[in-house]
């Protein structure tokens, strides 16, 4: 069984011309770091930050391994004054149709239970098991949100840890594959993601459901109307105005300008990920005129 592979110097990503040591437009920021109390052969590295407003391009990292591995990503959520800050990172393997999104997991102890391993201090690097995949000939591709509310968040990747999967791990993975009898989960999209993520293109729609692909989720409930206001051109409802839907209407109008019907694209993307989609109408009260 091969050893684990740690990739801690992310300045090796390509194109290297898109990485710098200070804040420049169109570039990722490279920052030296050192990890403590970790069982890795080398725990110094260079992490990358994608900063809001600088519009850095996607980066590709050669993983350099063959066979099945767990792909674990380390993300640093600390910032100035000893505080935690959420991050938004987009990641995919080369050949994937869309990105998946990574954020800091939040939970409420009184509601969700106490899990000490989920507590995160501002100096910690949080590691997440992201994928289990055959990595032969595949690279890691990272990007950051380029529009919507998420574009105001920083992106970070500190390291990539590749853990080889032996026969037992592969058998366990095969046993957990979704089957007709296990696909019983329903995902509820309350309509807010379209503005939060500035969904304007086909890959954006695919990325909405990519995390549910090959899982036990079978059905997606997706709010595409609020009362009489629709999030797609409709013959019976009123298509949201560009400034409506908390400012998200502009992204939906951009979809239409690009020749895409948002409702059709949501359905097509869900089906591509093996999901059934039920468009929802979120019931809301009527908007009464204000008195004078």
171-184 confidence digits (pLDDT tens): 999 999 999 899 99
Helix (H) or strand (E) holding 70: strand 68-76
Task: Say yes or no to pLDDT of 149 above 90.
Answer: no
Determine the pLDDT at residue 199: 83
Residue 15: asked if its preceding bond is cis (omega within 30°), the reply is: yes
Task: Say yes or no to pLDDT of 135 above 60.
Answer: yes
Determine the pLDDT at residue 165: 97
Lowest mean pLDDT among 11-25, 108-122, 190-204: 190-204
Q: Tell me the H-state helices in the chain.
A: 109-112, 167-175, 193-196, 202-209, 249-257, 262-272
Average pLDDT over residues 91-95: 96
Task: Say yes or no to pLDDT of 287 above 70.
Answer: no
Q: How confident is the model at residue 161 (pLDDT cuts 50, 70, 90)?
A: very high
Of 1.20.120, 2.60.120, 3.30.70, 2.30.29, the CATH number of 5-173 is: 2.60.120
Determine the pLDDT at residue 132: 96
Determine the pLDDT at residue 244: 86
Determine the pLDDT at residue 38: 57
How far is residue 213's CA from residue 229's CA, in Å, rounded to a whole number?
30
How far is residue 6's CA from residue 106's CA, in Å, rounded to a whole number?
27
Nearest to 158 by CA among 244, 249, 31, 248: 31
- More confident of the two residues 145 and 192: 145
Lowest mean pLDDT among 63-67, 152-156, 279-283: 279-283
Which tokens go with 74? 């380390």
Task: Say yes or no to pLDDT of 290 above 70.
Answer: no
Which tokens go with 269? 């993307």
Average pLDDT over residues 237-266: 90
Determine the pLDDT at residue 191: 65
Please report, for the chain, the start and end positions of each structural domain, with discontinuous segments joined by +.
5-173, 185-282
Write down how long the chain is.
292
Q: Write down the mean pLDDT value for the chain.
A: 90
Q: How confident is the model at residue 289 (pLDDT cuts 50, 70, 90)?
A: low
Task: Say yes or no to pLDDT of 284 above 80.
Answer: no
| pLDDT tens-digit readout, 69-83 | 999 999 999 988 888
Q: How confident is the model at residue 39 (pLDDT cuts 50, 70, 90)?
A: low
Helix (H) or strand (E) holding 34: strand 28-34
Task: Say yes or no to pLDDT of 27 above 60.
Answer: yes
């Amino acid at each position: 069984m091969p050893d684990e592979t740690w990739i801690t110097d992310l300045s090796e990503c390509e194109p290297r011309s898109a990485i710098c040591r200070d804040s420049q437009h169109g570039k990722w920021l490279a920052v030296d770091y050192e990890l403590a109390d970790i069982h890795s052969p080398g725990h110094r590295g260079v992490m990358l930050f994608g900063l809001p407003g600088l519009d850095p391009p996607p980066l590709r990292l050669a993983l350099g391994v063959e066979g099945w591995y767990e792909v674990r990503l380390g993300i640093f959520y600390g910032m100035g004054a000893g505080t935690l800050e959420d991050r938004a990172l987009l990641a995919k393997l080369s050949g994937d149709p869309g990105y998946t999104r990574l954020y800091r997991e939040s939970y409420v102890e009184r509601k969700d239970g106490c899990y000490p391993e989920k507590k995160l201090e501002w100096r910690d690097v949080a590691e997440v098991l992201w994928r289990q995949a055959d990595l032969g000939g595949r690279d890691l591709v990272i990007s950051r949100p380029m529009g919507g509310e998420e574009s105001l968040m920083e992106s970070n990747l500190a390291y990539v840890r590749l853990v080889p999967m032996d026969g037992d791990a592969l058998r366990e993975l095969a046993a957990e594959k979704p089957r007709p009898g296990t696909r019983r989960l329903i995902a509820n999209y309350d309509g807010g993601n379209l503005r939060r993520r500035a969904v304007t293109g086909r890959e954006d729609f695919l990325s909405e459901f990519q995390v549910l692909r090959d899982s036990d989720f079978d059905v997606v409930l997706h709010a595409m109307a609020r009362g009489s206001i629709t999030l797609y051109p409709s013959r019976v409802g009123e298509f949201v105005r560009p400034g409506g839907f908390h400012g998200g209407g502009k992204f939906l109008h951009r979809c239409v300008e690009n020749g895409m019907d948002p409702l059709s694209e949501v359905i097509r993307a869900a089906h591509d990920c093996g999901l059934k989609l039920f468009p929802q109408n979120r019931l809301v009260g009527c908007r009464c005129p204000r008195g004078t």
